Amino acid sequence: MAEEEHSSGTWHNSEQSDLTSTSSYRRRPSLTSHDDSAESAGPGHILRPGSPQPRMSSDSGGISSGSKWRDTSTALSDSQEIPPSNPEIVETTFDENVLRVLCDMDCGVPLLLDRIKQSMVSCREASVFFKKRALIEEEYGKTLQKLARSTSEVYSMNDGKAGTFVTAWQNSMKIHEVLGDNRIRFSQHLNEMSEELANIAKEVDKNRKSTKELATRYERALSESESFTEKCKNRLEVTTEELERLLLQKEGESFKDNTVQTRAGTTGGKRVIGKAVAKGGLLLKGKNPGNIQRQEDDVRSRMSAASDAFRKAVIDTQAMRQEYFNFQLPRILRALKECSDEIDLGTQYHLTRYAFLFESILLNDGSALVPPKDEGGHSVGLKIAMEAIDNRGDFRTYMQNYAYAHSVSPTKGPRREGPSDEGFLPPLSSRNSDKPPTSSSATHVNGSNSSDKGRPTFGIDLGEQMARDDVDIPPIMRRCCEAIEKYGINSQGIYRLSGTTSKVAKLKQLLDKDLEAVNLDVHEWSSDINNVTSVLKMWLRELPEPLMTFSLQQGFIEAAKIENDRLRHIRLHERVNDLPDPNYATLKYLLGHLHRINQHASENSMTNQNLAIVFGPTLFGQSAPTAGPSSSIADAPYQNQAIETILNFYTDIFVDDSE
């Protein structure tokens, strides 16, 4: 029979009593009750045919399947009953509150399915980004390595400069190879993360589809069971109406009696009379009592079978609904939520790992450019390698080698010495030595203007400059400071901002060629005073010995480390007094200029602290030749502290009461 065929594919019946409400098979049970007893329904109680149909996950794009619930490997076992308080249904590590809310929602399954779709899109986008970024990094790293190696090989084959330059050049190429290798390793990590994210998205999509298919099967089976129950109810109604008609016929009452018409009105106008006439038309032919009795027995037998089928269908549907909402639906929602959490956490993990690797590669690049102190002396940074170039020493070596190489072979140029009968003159040095001293003096006086133009300003010892020019303050410092105070004392970030590289180089060349001929009041220099400040700082940096001197440098550092302000001021005052006279006079003039700059800090934002940060490394220069390059980095904060303290107590240190 149809009843037996349908019931064989449904869940096992739970231990439930007769139904007391015909609408109970459409009631959604609570999540917490697993063993609620079903309510009984008698044959005369009719289920509401207008009850809403349950929502199916296939409405949101699910995959349909004709198999029953137990056709999948994730279906329940054949146990008869689910324990009502099984703690393993939801693990303690899972967010049970979220699961309860999802179970109480009518849209829990499509909600999670759509959320997983969004997470997969985000995961795939991150995977694609990592893949493209890996290609960029790999191409950059390989190109950089190839460039460094080819450049190193080409230079070794060409006739380039030797000495310290070639050493620095080769070291810089090695640093570029290290930078390229870092990028290649970074691209490998990016490829790994891209593949892992793609695998996560693929696996989650597979689990999502299988769980969605399982949910669709469960909901379809429940819907089919409810439809079958509705059919059983209709069959029972028709059989009951037929029995009532027979009983009326047996008692001799007419179908057109008012009683029958009144009852037909109370049943809501359902197809009572029409069905009775259609299905029991033979009863209208004759009134044989025996025939009527046989028909009554047959109808009663069919009504009993229909009542049993309807009761069984209601019990099966109620049991199926209880098991679905109390057990299967939480399992489905939990599986979907775990998929959502897996892809969300996996995506977040790889994004966090990407950020960490990105920071690490930048730190590795920085370590290659500026090696840490604890790596030993074998690692050379790019800046240190370039600063190690000694052009003067290389030129002296080249000059010696060149002269030696050409001394063994006769020169093709004119001869310097020869017999007088061939027209050779005596050496110029002998002729100059025979001249009276007055001639030499006259020549010096007459050519003083032209000789001044050839006096260099940059890279000359401070004492030699001031003795040569017979001045108390270096002329370049006086002229630059006067122009800066005239045109830039209120300029925002004065001394902190750098000038244009080409303009600074041009001004340096002009000042080094003919200091007196340069007019800093012209628009070319006064319009951008940062060019003048950059030249002044460059002049201080290019002094052979820094303004604070190598010999007193450590004394200034030790004094700056003193925490007591008053004692630090006294010790620094003593170190300033120990400076040579040219250095002391120059420092006094410079710090007086900076003191006036600081008085306009409200406009130019250059406080004593900011000025100290700019001039600390400039006035102290690099570390003493005996110290390593790492010591200057460690001493930089104390250099700034020393300059800041001297600026703060400028009046006490330099200005006498008489002034």
pTM over 0.85: no
pLDDT digits (tens, 9 = 90+) for 481-509: 999 999 999 988 899 888 888 889 999 99
The helix-helix angle for 272-279 and 258-266 (nearest 10°) equals 120
How many CA atoms within 13 Å lie on the side-chain side of 606?
Answer: 25
DSSP element (H, E) containing 345: helix 329-369
> Is the pLDDT assigned to residue 136 strictly greater than 90?
yes
Instruction: State the distance between the two ends of the chain, measured CA to CA, in whole angstroms.
Output: 124
- Joined tokens for residue 373: 């102190």
Q: How confident is the model at residue 546 (pLDDT cuts 50, 70, 90)?
A: very high
Indicate the SS3 state at residue 113.
helix
Give one DSSP letter per residue of 47-103, joined into a string.
--TTPPPPP-GGGGSPPP--S-GGGSTTSPPS-S---TT-TTSS-TTS-HHHHHHHH
**Mean pLDDT confidence for 221-234:** 92
Cα–Cα dist 518/523, whole Å: 12
Q: What does the pLDDT read at residue 658?
A: 53
pLDDT digits (tens, 9 = 90+) for 599-613: 999 999 899 999 999
Specify the pLDDT at position 574. Answer: 92
Query: What pLDDT is stored for residue 396 in this prediction?
Result: 83
**CB-CB neighbours of 112 under 10 Å:** 25
Other CB atoms closer than 10 Å to residue 84's CB: what's the count?
11
Tell me which of 9-13, 197-201, 212-216, 412-416 is least confident.
9-13
Mean pLDDT over 343-356 rounds to 93
Is there a contact between 67 and 217 (Cβ–Cβ < 8 Å)?
Answer: yes
Question: Among 373-377, 538-542, 569-573, which stretch is predicted with the lowest mean pLDDT?
Answer: 373-377
Q: With beta carbons less than 8 A apart as the criterion, state whether 536 and 611 touch.
A: no
- Amino acid 422: pLDDT: 65
- CB burial of 138-175 (b: ≥16 within 10 Å; e: otherwise) equals bebbeebbeebeeebeeeeeeeeeebbbeebbbbbbbb
Give the separation between CA 294 and CA 104, rounded to whole angstroms.
Answer: 53
3-class secondary structure for 446-470? HCHHHHHHCCCCCCCCHHHHHHHHC
CA–CA distances in Å: residue 92 to residues 88, 97, 339, 344, 464: 8, 11, 17, 20, 84
Closest CA to 221 of 317, 78, 313: 317
Check if the beta carbon of residue 331 is closer than 8 Å to that of residue 90: no
What's the pLDDT score for residue 287?
A: 59
Contact 273, 244 (CB under 8 A): no
Query: Is the predicted pLDDT of residue 155 greater than 70, yes or no?
Result: yes
Give start and end residues of each alpha helix (H) in 408-436: 428-434
Q: What is the mean pLDDT of the chain?
A: 76
- Closest listed residue to residue 108, CA positions, set 31, 190, 51, 21: 31
634 — pLDDT class (breaks 50, 70, 90): confident
The string of pLDDT tens digits covering residues 43-83 is: 333 333 333 333 333 333 333 333 334 333 333 333 333 34
**Confidence band for 515, pLDDT divided at 50, 70 and 90:** confident
Of the CA atoms within 13 Å of residue 478, those in its CB half-sphere come to 9
Predicted local distance difference test score (pLDDT) of residue 37? 35
Q: Determine what percent of the chain is predicted with pLDDT higher than 90.
A: 34
Other beta carbons within 10 Å of 591: 21
Closest C-alpha to 191, from 341, 350, 349, 343: 350
Structural contact between residues 564 and 440, judged by C-beta atoms closer than 8 angstroms: no
Q: What's the pLDDT at 367?
A: 87
